[in-house]
């Protein structure tokens, strides 16, 4: 994983937006590494699944709504914690003039993403989809 993480980090949009000389940069880097591992696990689950559509792959990978929700919640919790850690420690490279509105936008974007993902899980595991 180390060999691939360095390349991932160079291309990670969150990492691109943080202060590299900040004392907390090593900690957020480790947090990003943890999230990278979660993403790799999720991708591996999908790659080892069978189906004709993305919904089929999700259904085959997780089998139950509960298992899919657990994976989703783990990723969302990790993302939220990383966002809050970045905000609380002032790691973002943004001007103080626009800091508050940008933080509000980031949090709103996260909230919208959570709702979207939750709705997609419902679509995948709704009774009509799972009964075929």
Provide DSSP, 21-43: TSTTHHHHHHHHHHHHHHHHHHH
The predicted-structure confidence for 109-129, as pLDDT tens digits, reads as follows 999 999 998 898 888 888 664
How many structural domains comprise the chain? 1
Contact at 8 Å (CB) between 74 and 62?
A: no
Examine the pLDDT at 45 and tell me if it is beyond 50.
yes
The residue segments making up the domain with residue 83 are: 2-130
The predicted-structure confidence for 57-108, as pLDDT tens digits, reads as follows 999 999 999 999 999 999 999 999 999 999 999 999 999 999 999 999 999 9
| Predicted local distance difference test score (pLDDT) of residue 106 | 92
- What tokens were used for 104? 């509000």
Give the global pTM: 0.82
15-39 burial, b if ≥16 CB within 10 A, otherwise e? beebbeebebeeebeebbeebbeee
- What tokens were used for 7? 């390349």
């Amino acid at each position: 994983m180390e060999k691939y993480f360095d390349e991932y980090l160079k291309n990670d949009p969150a990492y691109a937006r943080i202060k590299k000389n900040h004392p907390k940069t090593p900690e957020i880097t480790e947090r990003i590494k943890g999230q990278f591992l979660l993403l790799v696990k999720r991708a591996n689950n999908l790659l080892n699944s069978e189906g004709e559509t993305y919904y089929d792959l999700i259904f085959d990978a997780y089998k139950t709504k509960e298992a899919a929700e657990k994976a989703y919640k783990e990723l969302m919790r990790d993302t939220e914690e990383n966002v809050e850690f970045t905000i609380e420690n002032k790691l973002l490279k943004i001007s103080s003039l626009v800091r508050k509105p940008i933080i509000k936008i980031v949090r709103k974007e996260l909230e919208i993403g959570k709702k979207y993902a939750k709705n997609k899980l419902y679509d995948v595991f709704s009774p009509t989809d799972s009964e075929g």
